[in-house]
């Protein structure tokens, strides 16, 4: 079992912290939260995906086994996909901060 005195002290400490936070907010100050310190874990995956799409587009460009029209379509599609991936990631990160 836990010690009731320790539980009461912990509860009072939490209440005091909450009261201090309310005073800070009412004075216009911001309170740092755990969600404001998010880590960026997906960036390497996004960059790797964009690089793979760029390599794919270059490989198709130099393959020359298809017609020029097919090569242009596949190349522009993969370059557009990599750009869209990076732009989408950037927009998502900026919206997540708000």
**pLDDT tens track for 77-94:** 888 988 898 898 888 888
Spatial CA neighbour of 42 closest among 4, 97, 92, 81: 92
Spatial CA neighbour of 58 closest among 50, 90, 85: 50
**pLDDT tens track for 20-78:** 878 877 777 766 665 544 566 678 888 888 888 888 878 777 776 778 888 788 888 88
Q: Which helix H or strand E contains 42, and what residues bound it?
A: none
Q: Which residues of 77-88 are buried (b: 16+ CB within 10 A; e: fewer)?
A: ebbebbeeeeee
pLDDT of residue 22: 80
pLDDT of residue 79: 87
Q: Are residues 85 and 46 in contact, defined by beta-carbon separation less than 8 angstroms?
A: yes
pLDDT of residue 46: 84
pLDDT of residue 36: 47
Within 10 Å of residue 53's Cβ, how many Cβ atoms?
20
Q: Which residue, chain included where needed, has tokens 């790797």?
A: 48
């Amino acid at each position: 079992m836990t010690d009731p005195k320790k539980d009461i002290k912990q509860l009072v400490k939490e209440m005091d912290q909450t009261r201090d936070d309310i005073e800070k907010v009412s004075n216009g100050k911001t309170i740092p939260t755990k969600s404001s310190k998010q880590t960026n874990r997906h960036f390497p995956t996004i960059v790797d995906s964009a690089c793979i799409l760029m390599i794919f587009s270059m490989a198709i460009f130099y393959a020359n086994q298809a017609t020029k029209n097919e090569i242009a379509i596949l190349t522009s599609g993969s370059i557009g996909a990599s750009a869209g991936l990076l732009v989408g990631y950037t927009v998502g990160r900026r919206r997540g901060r708000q």
